[in-house]
Each structure stands twice: as C-alpha cells, then as structure tokens.
Structure 1
Amino acid sequence: MKAVGKALCAAGIVAGLLAFLWKDTFDPESLSGARVLLTGASAGIGEQMAYHYASFGAEIVLTARREAVLQRVMKKCLELGAKKVFYIAADMSSSSEPEKVVHFAVQKLGGLDFLVLNHIGMTPFQMWDGDVEHTRWLMQVNFFSYVALATAALPTLEENQGSLIVVSSLTGKIPTPFTTSYSATKFALDGFFGSLRHELAMQKKNIFITLCILGLIDTEVALEKTRGKVYLTAAPAAEAALAIIRGGATRVHEAFYPWWLQYMCRFRDWFPSHRDRVLQSYYNYSSP
C-alpha cells in the first residue's frame, strides 16, 4: 500500500501542475448562432445544458418524452437568450423515433453544428436480478438510439464540420456495483464512438466526437438511487452541463467531470492489482 500511496501522491502533484498550466480555450461567443439538437432535454443535466446553450445564443431543438415539460424548458430558453428554440416529443425506445427527430431538427434549423446525445432510460440501482428483457430495452434507449441518431445526423454534421457530443459515465470506463445493465450500455458507447472517431479520420471527414465521462451528479433521480450505497459527494448538474458543453465546443476527445475522474481511470490502468480496493472504498458493500 505504500507504493500505492506514493503513486497517488505523484498523481496528485502531476494533476496540480496540469491544472496550473492548463489554459481555458472555451469561447462562449463561438456558440452564438450554433445549431444544436439536444436529447434528454426535459430534466437534470439535459435541462441545464439547454439553459447554458440558450444563454450563449444558440439555436436549439429539444427532445425528450414529456411534451409539457419540454414546453416549459423551451420557454425558459427563450427568456435566457436563445435565438431559436423548437421541441419534439419522442420516445427513444422506439426504433423509428431517432431518424424522425434528426429530420425535424434539420428542417427547423437548416442543419446541425452539434448533436448532443444525453438521454437515458430509467433503470434500478440494484444487484443483477436476471432481467434480460430490461437489459434489451435499456440497450435500445441508451445505445442503439444513440447510434441511430448519430447515423442520421452524420451528413449534416459533415457538411457543417460539426460535432457529436456523447454523454457517458464513469460506469462506462470502470465496472461498478448495482449498474450491470447500465454499465454495459455505457461501455458500448465508448466502443462504438471511439471506433467511429477513427473511421471518420480515415475518411478525412471533419466531424468531431467528444465522449463525456460523468461521475455522480446531484440530479433528484441519481441521489435517490444511490443514497446509502455510494460514498461520494454528488457534483452540481449545472456545472456538469457546462463541462459537457465546454468539452464539445473545444473539441476534446474525452471530457471528465469532475476532473479527478480522469486520474481515477488512469490509476486503475496503471495499478490493476489495486483497482478493486480503490473502488470498494466508495461503495457500501454491506448493503446490497
């Protein structure tokens, strides 16, 4: 454990130096007039992203399942300064919805500069109970609909040298308890969009992909699910939303929020024999 302690100390020093030397290249003005399709926009991180994009003067199409809530979010976006806002209610568990949503957005905005994939299906935070059908449904919502949305949007993103922003999770980098099906969908996103990034580069297509890796965020749903099971302080949804937007606007390959998640992932790679010991310190293993 002494070696691990030294390694953590060294990693902390490196992280501190990088933070000191890092220069923020994000320019909010670059998003003025940007055309954005944002999924999962009715609550939580997606709602907060909608408000940030609006305050930067973007043109936005919002989508989620609940029409009444989308109308409320749209109204606030207009008050915050969005140049244009539209919404379309859609259920991403339906295989026909993604293409319809992209076509609606392109029609309303005349094209897309950013496709922000943020929606997720509701899933219990519990040990695996053998529900294969739920896992199939969750893969449709959390993975296959992302693939379908991205595929439909690739032509307009290529035309406008746009960006795909894919919201993922630490559970898509590190397997964690109580998230078997959810973690599988997030690992799938990492694999698919990481491979797609290479293929776009090989084809000389100027479409950028940013994968956003989030920790525990203080949304109502996340806090309720993890209470008594996870020993982590939840980070603010509004800050997480801004970190996602910054990552996409500055075209980084991976954006981590909170920032220290990047070093947790690196530590796990560098010291595989201690990976489970570190993870276990954040979970209540006596309360399944």
Structure 2
Amino acid sequence: MKTVLITGANSGFGLLTAIELLKKGHHVIATMRNIVNKDELIEEAEKLGAYDRLSVYQLDVTNLAEIQLVKANIESCYGKLDVLINNAGYCQGGFVSDLALEEWQNQFDVNVHGVLRVTSEMLPLLQRPVKANIINISSVSGMIGFPGLSAYCSSKFALEGFSESLRLELLQENIFVSLIEPGSYQTKIWEKSLSSIDTDEMDTDLKQAVLSYAKKSAHSSPDPIEVARLISRICDKEKVKFRYPIGKGSKLLSTAKRLLPWSLLEKLILRNL
C-alpha cells in the first residue's frame, strides 16, 4: 500500500485518480481548495469500502499555511509520502489583448507557484531510501501555444521547464518526476475557462473561431478516466518515463512540434480553427 497525496481532488482528473488509487488499495490523501466539494469523493470511497484509506483536507495551493498544515498531518499520521500528484490548476481563457495583469498573475500563482509550494514542502516526506514519485499534470498546451490560451499555455510551459530541472535534480535520490500531457478531455476545466470569457470581447473572426472550437472540444472530448488510469499505472510502475502524452492529437502534436518548421505548424493550427 502506498501513501499518495493528490491536489485538486474534488473533480476531473484529481477525483477520478483518487478513486482509481483507492480501488488498488492505496491510501489516498485528497486535498481540495474548498472542502465542501468533498461529498462525491467520500461517497465513492464508501461504495468501494475504502473510506478508511481516504483522508480529505482543505488545501489551497496558493496558501502556504494550509500546505504546511497538511504536511504536518501527513508527517504525524504516516511519516512519509510515496507519491505526490500535483493536479490542482485551472485554465484562464482569453487573448493577450483582453487579459488583465492580475489574471496572468493568478494563473501562474496556481499552475506554477502552487506546484512549487506543494513540492517544496512535501519533498522531505518523499526523500527516503525507497523509490518515490512526483507526477505533475501538464497539458498538450505545455507543448505548443494556442491562440486564446496564452496565460494557460505559458503556465504549462513553465511547469514543463520546472519539471525537467526537478527530474534531473532528484534522480539520484530515487525520486522520479513525471509529466502527464493530456489533450482535451471532458472535465470542468473547459466549462470554467469558457465562463471566464467576456463574449463582448470576441470581436474578430479569429476570436470567434477559437471560442467555437473550445466549446466543441468541451463536449466532444474523450472520457478523462483514461488519464486517471494512466496516472494510477505510473504510481505502481518500478521504472517511470518523464513524459506521458495522452489523448487525441497529443502525441501527434508532440512529434509535429519537434519535426515541423514553425511556419508550417502555425498554418496547420490556424486552418484547423
């Protein structure tokens, strides 16, 4: 049985991953920004007969005091962590010309600095002779920039660079860092992202095309259980890779970014929109 900490476990990939890990017999420490959203996870744990292996804590990744409190509780109850899954994040939609500086700062504070805060605090619990894992949830948007998602893509690019450095720093300590790079999936991240966009700002053909494409993707994307099951498998693997692209177009985009000239790539992206 492994002890696994997941941030942002109230919905989407985090919720589904917590359930998959409970099914496998692991102890799951599920954290979420708003603890009132815990009911669905608790109900699923009770159905599985796994409630005794689930701990739920309030944790806003922008709040260092809450992170330190969760760390103290983990240290007191378990003394260690085997896996840290940095899943908490959100997508700030909008074009550069329409986004306020505060919106950029908030995006980075959660998606980048939040991962840094949690990882830095939990690292001592992972540093033991046995193998440990840090799994950071990135995105296909961390491979390539898309119009209308400049803040989100920038935050995921930053997460990719942070994870590359962290992987190299921790390999000799037997801590393996991995990146999950999902394409578009049916999670609430799309709903929340689209709700933040002022439709009055969608005053050009490109903006309208991007908004239409995003709405279509939100409803036609695959089941996010695929990602949860991948994360669950990685938790049990002895040897883990660094990057795991998954989902429609994710591997193709990764290959295209490496091999195609940018002039061709941008034409393909804009044509697809």
The answer to whether TM tops 0.5 is: yes
TM-score (structure 2 length as normaliser) = 0.83
2:213 aligned residue:
229
Q: Which amino acid counterpart does residue 185 of structure 1 have in structure 2?
A: S
Structure 1 residues 99 and 279, CA gap change in structure 2 (3 angstroms): farther
**Aligned counterparts of 1:256 and 1:118: Cα–Cα separation in 2:** 15
Q: How far did residue 122 of structure 1 move?
A: 5.4
Tell whether 2:128 aligns with 1:164.
no
The superposition leaves residues 180-201 of structure 1 with CA deviations (integer Å, 9 ceiling, x where unpaired) of 1111111111101101111223
Tell whether 2:217 aligns with 1:217.
no
Answer whether contact 1:102 1:152 (CA < 8 A) is retained: yes
Q: How far did residue 69 of structure 1 move?
A: 1.9
Q: How far did residue 103 of structure 1 move?
A: 2.8
**Aligned counterparts of 1:275 and 1:245: Cα–Cα separation in 2:** 33
Which consecutive aligned stretches of 4+ in structure 1 deviate over 6 angstroms post-superposition? none
The superposition leaves residues 121-169 of structure 1 with CA deviations (integer Å, 9 ceiling, x where unpaired) of 452x221224111211221111111111111222221214210000011
Tell whether 2:239 aligns with 1:274.
no
Q: How far did residue 104 of structure 1 move?
A: 2.4
**Aligned counterparts of 1:174 and 1:277: Cα–Cα separation in 2:** 14
**Aligned counterparts of 2:167 and 2:174: Cα–Cα separation in 1:** 10
Which blocks of at least 5 consecutive residues in structure 1 are unaligned? Answer: 1-32, 284-288
Tell whether 2:103 aligns with 1:134.
yes
Which blocks of at least 5 consecutive residues in structure 2 are unaligned? Answer: 195-209
Structure 1 residues 275 and 106, CA gap change in structure 2 (3 angstroms): farther
**Aligned counterparts of 1:96 and 1:279: Cα–Cα separation in 2:** 42
RMSD of equivalent CA atoms: 2.1
Tell whether 2:233 aligns with 1:246.
yes
Q: Which amino acid counterpart does residue 21 of structure 2 have in structure 1?
A: Y
1:80 aligned residue:
48
Answer whether contact 1:65 1:91 (CA < 8 A) is retained: yes
SS at match of 1:269: helix
**Aligned counterparts of 2:16 and 2:211: Cα–Cα separation in 1:** 23
SS at match of 1:70: helix
Structure 1 residues 256 and 81, CA gap change in structure 2 (3 angstroms): farther
Q: Which amino acid counterpart does residue 199 of structure 1 have in structure 2?
A: E
**Aligned counterparts of 2:110 and 2:224: Cα–Cα separation in 1:** 21
Q: Which amino acid counterpart does residue 254 of structure 1 have in structure 2?
A: R
Q: 2:18 aligns with which of 50, 54, 57?
A: 50
Structure scoring higher RCO (CA < 8 A, sep ≥ 6) equals 2
Bigger shift: 80-89 or 222-231? 222-231
**Aligned counterparts of 2:213 and 2:249: Cα–Cα separation in 1:** 21
Bigger shift: 218-227 or 150-159? 218-227
1:178 aligned residue:
148
Answer whether contact 2:58 2:66 (CA < 8 A) is retained: no
Tell whether 2:4 aligns with 1:36.
yes
Tell whether 2:57 aligns with 1:63.
no
Answer whether contact 2:33 2:59 (CA < 8 A) is retained: yes
TM-score (structure 1 length as normaliser) = 0.79
Answer whether contact 1:78 1:84 (CA < 8 A) is retained: no
Answer whether contact 1:56 1:81 (CA < 8 A) is retained: no
The superposition leaves residues 232-263 of structure 1 with CA deviations (integer Å, 9 ceiling, x where unpaired) of 54121111211222234332211111174123
Alignment length (residue pairs):
248
